């Protein structure tokens, strides 16, 4: 994947900044929806890359710890505007969520309650499900490009829904498929270095920073896995109450941008603004490191026959994981016929009205939730 060279560097950086600021403000619903919105913007609308390139980035992102959608912004930013774009994309996507969450955290600390947004989430959640399943269709057309890859995707989806850990699904799919497709049948292992974090914590804000740095360095999976980590690290140690963690989960759901911005909320409850800064820096810093190390390797992987097969299988498994996430979300979000209608309408809107921005579909879901809540 070569960097695009049309226009000046400043124009490309401006494009990257404006796009990911917009997504940082409008991307509700979690990583699967963020990926759908990015695919719409960088592949279909702006044509910064092919869908195959985008799928390679999604697959590679799933192989490393950290916030997947945030890491994907960095990949896209570097592809469009080099290393400056890498930093600009990541920061522009993170900052709106962090600022919004910090304001909510300050209000929560001052008034002891969160705003009532249940009626808005009632419509947003099923609309988000429609977007997620439309992403499965769009990316599946490219990732499931042969019968063996279709089988790989189906088996991966079944394994994920049965509770097998995401990283196991990805690596087993990749290694098995590479083994099958290799002319010599040579089993090739994909080398990765995971950042190891020491268990020594200093006092105060440095303790907060190290806790969240460890979580950001080791965490695979959804935002709900993040909260399980934080329950062990903070609630069980008496640093945070279970109620505060539950409220952090709520904040992560109804604010745009990365779910990991919940760290800002938690850091604020622990130590005010300095604690929010320490937690935010700690949880997002590993993502910048992992993507910086991984991004230059992706074209090399695609040029190797065996590693290309590995990446193909990981892409197929990634689509399967997105499908699994959609199924899990549907189980808890589609509560009645009204939410089912919103979900189907959101899916149909993405599939049949390709020029309609996904942000409008989510906004439409919020409006439908407001109108239908009391019916």
What is the DSSP track for 205-261? HHHHHHHHHHHHHH--S-HHHHHHHHIIIIITTTSS-HHHHHHHHHHHHHSSS-GGG
Q: What tokens were used for 73? A: 């912004």
Contact 222, 69 (CB under 8 A): no
CA distance 150 to 265: 41
Q: Cβ–Cβ contacts within 10 Å for residue 338, how many?
A: 18
Nearest Cα to 251, choosing from 69, 102, 89? Answer: 102
The one-digit pLDDT tens for each residue of the chain (375 residues) are: 544 445 578 899 999 999 999 999 888 777 878 888 899 899 988 999 998 899 889 888 888 878 888 999 999 999 999 999 999 999 999 999 999 999 989 888 887 666 666 677 777 778 878 877 887 887 787 788 888 888 888 888 888 888 777 777 877 888 888 777 764 443 333 333 333 335 333 456 788 898 898 888 877 655 555 766 777 788 888 888 877 877 787 677 678 888 788 899 999 999 888 899 999 999 999 899 889 888 888 888 777 777 788 888 887 887 887 788 778 778 877 888 888 888 888 888 877 876 776 777 777 887 888 787 766
pLDDT, position 126: 81
pLDDT, position 31: 80
pLDDT, position 253: 67
pLDDT, position 21: 94
Nearest Cα to 268, choosing from 105, 100, 101, 98? Answer: 105
3-state secondary structure (DSSP) of residue 148: helix
Contact 55, 311 (CB under 8 A): no
Nearest Cα to 170, choosing from 146, 138, 192? Answer: 192
State the residue for tokens 């940082």.
24
Q: How far apart are the two ends of the chain, measured CA to CA in Å?
A: 51
Q: What DSSP state is assigned to residue 183? A: T
């Amino acid at each position: 994947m070569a960097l695009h060279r049309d226009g000046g560097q400043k124009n490309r950086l401006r494009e990257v900044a404006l796009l990911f600021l917009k997504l940082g403000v409008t991307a509700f619903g979690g990583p699967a929806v963020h990926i759908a919105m990015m695919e719409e913007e960088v592949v279909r609308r702006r044509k910064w890359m092919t869908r195959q390139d985008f799928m390679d980035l999604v697959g590679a992102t799933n192989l490393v710890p950290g916030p997947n959608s945030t890491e994907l912004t960095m990949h896209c930013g570097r592809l469009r505007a080099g290393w400056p774009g890498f930093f600009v994309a990541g920061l522009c996507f993170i900052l709106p969520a962090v600022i919004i969450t910090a304001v909510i955290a300050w209000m929560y600390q001052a008034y002891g309650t969160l705003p009532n947004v249940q009626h808005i989430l009632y419509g947003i959640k099923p609309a988000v499900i429609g977007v997620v399943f439309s992403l499965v269709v769009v990316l599946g057309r490219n990732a499931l490009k042969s019968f063996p890859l279709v089988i790989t995707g189906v088996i991966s989806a079944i394994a994920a829904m049965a509770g097998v850990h995401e990283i196991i699904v990805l690596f087993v799919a990749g290694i098995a498929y590479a083994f099958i497709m290799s002319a010599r049948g040579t089993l090739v292992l994909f080398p990765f270095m995971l950042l190891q974090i020491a268990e020594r914590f200093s006092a105060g804000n440095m303790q907060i920073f190290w806790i969240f740095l460890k979580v950001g360095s080791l965490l695979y999976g959804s935002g709900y896995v993040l909260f399980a980590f934080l329950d062990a690290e903070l609630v069980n140690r008496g640093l945070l109450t279970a109620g505060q963690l539950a409220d952090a989960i709520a904040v992560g759901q109804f604010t745009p941008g990365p779910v990991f911005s919940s760290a800002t909320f938690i850091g604020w409850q622990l130590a005010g603004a300095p604690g929010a800064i320490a937690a935010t820096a700690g949880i997002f810093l590993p993502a910048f490191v992992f993507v910086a190390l991984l991004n230059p390797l992706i074209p090399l992987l695609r040029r190797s026959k065996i590693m290309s097969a590995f990446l193909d299988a990981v892409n197929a498994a990634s689509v399967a994981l997105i499908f699994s996430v959609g199924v899990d979300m549907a189980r808890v979000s589609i509560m009645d016929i009204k939410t089912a209608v919103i979900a189907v309408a959101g899916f149909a809107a993405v599939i049949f009205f390709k020029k309609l921005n996904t942000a409008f579909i989510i906004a439409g879901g919020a409006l439908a939730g407001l109108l239908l809540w009391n019916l």
